[in-house]
Structure 1
Amino acid sequence: MEDNKLASFKGLITPRRVVTALGLLLALGIANSSVLMTDAGYTYVHQNNLTGELDVFTEPGIHFRMPFFSKITRYDQVVTVSFGNSQGEEFFQRLDPLHVRFADTYTGQVPATFRFKLSHNPDAVKNMHQEFRSNDNLIDTLLVKNARNVTVITSTQYTGEEFFQGGLNQFKAQLADQLSNGVYTTERRQVEVEQVDLAPVGMDQEDSNKLQRTKQLVWKTVPILDKDGKPARQNNPLSTYGIQVTQVTIGDPVPEAQLDKLLTDKKKLVAERIRTIQEQETSKAQAKTEQLRKEIQRTREVQDAQRTKELAVIAQQKDVEVARQIAERELVEERKKKDIATLSKAKELEIAKANLAIQQANAEAAKFEAQAIRAKGNAEAEVLAAKYKALGSYKDVYLAEMNRDVAQVLYQNLPNFKVDMPQNYINGTGAGGLTSNLDVITGLSALGLMEKSKDLGKQSEKGSK
């Protein structure tokens, strides 16, 4: 059975099929070697080994290359090198902190991070590739060594105390400037360094507790200036390949033990000096306070005495002023009474004059009223006399007119007159008259009975009918 399987398998493997499979594998290998797929953030250098030409690809995409006779080298477009920083982003290099020496021979450890950006210029990339041939070699040979060299050179331009007492920011600015544009051309000479310190203890001055500027001669590496007053520079190896420095970050530097002890002792001395000065100032302030307190007490006593004297003078002046005001008020009251009396008499005189005028007017009015009444009476008398005279002349005519008027009135009112004769009579006078109230009541009752009997007679007549 196994012989049958082997025979069938040999039947499947024929020379033609083997040649076909080898052709397919060769075609796939050629196709894979002919295509280059580039990613973002990388620069690719394609080297054609047949012609010796170099092609640079900086953008992501698909490119064709010489199969089996080409070499691809990949470079990082952004490279971050860290000295003494093991946290944060994924650095390409994690190295020990930079060991630097300052101008006053003190040393220190400075952690720093540098970020570099490669050029997109194909000629610059080709030049860089011909020099370094790989990404790792570029970082180790150029970027790391140049960053360390510039940091060490820049540190010689500062003293240890100057660096650790506020010069870190300026150090970072000069380091980035020299790394990007070239190292300063320097010389070593003695220069004056200005320091800020407290005045010596015991100086008899008001500002002995304030910071003062002092100068000290030290040896430093100083940049040489050109004719334009700018620092002269050496050639920058990064500019040859178009590499840019995009960021420089300085960590927390650590001084050597001797420098750290010096700085610590100096801080202690400054603290002791400040404490001593504060004690001196406190003693001075207390002495001045005591003196001021005595001056204040003396001034207060003088002021109290002066105030007592002024109060006595003021009291006397007040009494005089009160007496003067009382006299003036009495004088005013007398004048007021006199003026009131004068005004009262004048008022009475005016009232009398007014009353006189009123009475005179009333008299005149009464006189004219009497004359008017008299004239009216005379006129009415004359009219009445003329009227009676006229009536006397025509007596018969007047009587006839009066009779006529009376007759007309009686005629008009004659229908309204009705004369009823009494049916009963009660004599109240003479003998047998009504002499008492009982007689009157008895008589009225009799009249009432007579009226009722008359009404009953009328009703019986109506019923019979």
Structure 2
Amino acid sequence: MSQVSSFFTPKRIILAIGIVSIAGIAKSSVLMTDAGYTYIYQNNITGTLDVFSEPGIHFRMPFLSKITRYDQVVTVSFGNNQGEAFYQRLEALPVRFADTYTGTVPATFRFRLSHDPKEITTMHREFRSNDNLIESMLIKNARNVTVITATQYTGEEFFQGGLNQFKAQLSDQLINGIYSTERRQVEIDQVDLVPVGLDQDDSNKLQPTKQLVWKTVPIENEQGQPIRQDNPLKQYGITVTQVTIGDPAPEEQLDKLLTDKKKLVAERIRAIQEQETSKAQAKTEQLRKEIQRTREVQDAQRTKELAVISQQKDVEVARQIAERELVEERKKKDIATLTKAKELEISKANLEIQKANALSSEYEAKAIREKGIAEADVLSAKYGALGQHENVYLAELNRDVAKQLYENLPNFKISMPQNYINGSNGNLTSNLDVITGLSALGIMEKTQELKASKDNE
């Protein structure tokens, strides 16, 4: 106990209090801004307001200032239960149409705050907090414009194709201001089927019809543009960047009316289809008979035309045969003429060839004769010259023979016979002597072969 009391001395307590106070003052003197938010810094001493729209670090008066944070982009959703904030989980908007029918319209609105410090300051002076701005301005304005826009449509008009136009007008009035309107009876265009009982070809088609209803109609100026009321968002610089419409739901009576109308239209279409089917069957039967009659007429006409064509064909065939025979005769005559002319040309050519051959043979004989005479004169002169120098010529011949013998001397080989067979008185007088001698030669050759093989071993 004494150790604890010694630890918490007055000096240490004062030091700790001083450190905590300094940390608190330092924390209260710094403002850290994040992206996506706008901060209003209120100096309670001077009474000034400063706006910070970008992320960063700023200094502030500790303990004597106030910071208010606003979302730069706010999403307000009606009929969406998956939002992150309470103003994104609102119920779908209940609306009442011009024909007193009601319904619910799920919608999502996206707003963007201004970056102008003056507009932000004005907005802060009016609403003082982000939640109050959303509840008092954005949610109420979105609901009010949606309800006012719905009064410009009938229930049937809205749920039978007017949703896209409703969205466009809703977005236009949120951005530029709602229309100044008045309630009056107007004609609206509807599309309906032609009554079933009408005897006409287009009884199954749609036709435009007129209907008088009470509607809230925008008041237009002289230029035909709608007159608008002041836009409450404009003075604060708040803009609408997106409007999304979900799947609207009609009230039970309107839903029943639309369902019954669909059934009635379906039944009328079915009745019309049955009538059209009957008409089509009757027309089909009539057309079938017309087609059959036309086919029979065409068959008779075709038979007649075929007979005429057959006769014309026979005449044409006979004419073509006659023309072909005439052409054949002309062809034969022309061929005979050409053949004779060709033979005549060949004969003339052969005659010229024979004349040329005869003349050529004559000149060839003369040439051979002259050549023979010239060769005989040359040979005679040659032998005359050799006769005058006979010794020289013989000496040259002997020289050439001796030279050839000397060059071929190594190729001469003289072998002596190894065996000699001599018959009686040196002659082989009978076949027996010849056979005996040949046998002896064979034995001697085998003996020499055996001896040579032993020597090799």
Report if TM-score (shorter chain) is over 0.5: yes
- 2:320 aligned residue (325, 335, 344): 325
TM-score, normalised relative to structure 1:
0.71
Query: Which one is further off, 292-301 or 13-22?
Result: 13-22
| Displacement of 1:83 | 0.9
Hey, what does 1:74 align to over in structure 2? 69
Instruction: Say whether the 8 Å CA contact 2:185–2:213 is kept in structure 1.
Output: yes
Hey, what does 2:24 align to over in structure 1? 29
Per-residue Cα deviation, 1:361-394 (whole angstroms, up to 9, x for no partner): 89x99xxx9xxx9xx9xxxxxxxxxxxxxxxxxx
Per-residue Cα deviation, 1:167-225 (whole angstroms, up to 9, x for no partner): 11111111111111111111112222122232222333333222322222222111111
- 1:60 aligned residue (39, 55, 63): 55
TM-score, normalised relative to structure 2:
0.72
Instruction: Say whether the 8 Å CA contact 2:82–2:89 is kept in structure 1.
Output: no
Query: How many residues were matched structurally?
Result: 384
Structure 2 portions without partners, runs of 5+: 370-383, 398-425, 429-457
Instruction: Say whether the 8 Å CA contact 1:80–1:91 is kept in structure 2.
Output: no
Matched, 1:254 2:249: yes
| Displacement of 1:279 | 2.0
Alignment-mate amino acid for residue 232 of structure 1: I
- 1:192 aligned residue (187, 195, 198): 187
Distance 1:340 1:12 in 2: 151
- 1:51 aligned residue (46, 49, 56): 46
Matched, 1:225 2:238: no
Instruction: Say whether the 8 Å CA contact 1:81–1:91 is kept in structure 2.
Output: no
Per-residue Cα deviation, 1:415-453 (whole angstroms, up to 9, x for no partner): 99xxxxxxxxxxxxxxxxxxxxxxxxxxx979xxxxxxx
Hey, what does 1:124 align to over in structure 2? 119
User: Match of 2:307, SS?
Assistant: helix
Instruction: Say whether the 8 Å CA contact 1:44–1:73 is kept in structure 2.
Output: yes
Instruction: Say whether the 8 Å CA contact 2:386–2:393 is kept in structure 1.
Output: no
Matches within 5 A, 1:449-460: none
Alignment-mate amino acid for residue 180 of structure 2: T
Distance 1:18 1:137 in 2: 44
Hey, what does 1:136 align to over in structure 2? 131
Per-residue Cα deviation, 1:287-314 (whole angstroms, up to 9, x for no partner): 2222221111111111111111112222
Q: Structure 1 residues 109 and 333, CA, compared in 2 at 3 Å: closer, same or farther?
A: closer
- 1:106 aligned residue (93, 97, 101): 101
Q: Structure 1 residues 413 and 89, CA, compared in 2 at 3 Å: closer, same or farther?
A: same
Q: Structure 1 residues 155 and 319, CA, compared in 2 at 3 Å: closer, same or farther?
A: same
Matched, 1:245 2:244: no
Instruction: Say whether the 8 Å CA contact 1:82–1:91 is kept in structure 2.
Output: no
Distance 1:245 1:62 in 2: 30
Higher alpha-carbon Rg: 1
Instruction: Say whether the 8 Å CA contact 1:43–1:77 is kept in structure 2.
Output: yes
Alignment-mate amino acid for residue 93 of structure 2: L
Per-residue Cα deviation, 1:39-86 (whole angstroms, up to 9, x for no partner): 222222222223322222222222222222222222222211111111
User: Match of 1:187, SS?
Assistant: strand
Hey, what does 1:158 align to over in structure 2? 153
Percent identical pairs in the alignment equals: 73
Distance 1:338 1:14 in 2: 156
| Displacement of 1:341 | 6.7
Distance 2:168 2:346 in 1: 116
| Displacement of 1:339 | 6.2
Q: Structure 1 residues 132 and 412, CA, compared in 2 at 3 Å: closer, same or farther?
A: closer
- 1:211 aligned residue (193, 206, 229): 206
Instruction: Say whether the 8 Å CA contact 1:195–1:216 is kept in structure 2.
Output: yes
User: Match of 2:54, SS?
Assistant: coil
Distance 2:328 2:180 in 1: 109
- 1:148 aligned residue (143, 148, 151): 143
| Displacement of 1:36 | 2.1
Alignment-mate amino acid for residue 166 of structure 1: G
Alignment-mate amino acid for residue 252 of structure 1: D
Instruction: Say whether the 8 Å CA contact 1:194–1:216 is kept in structure 2.
Output: yes
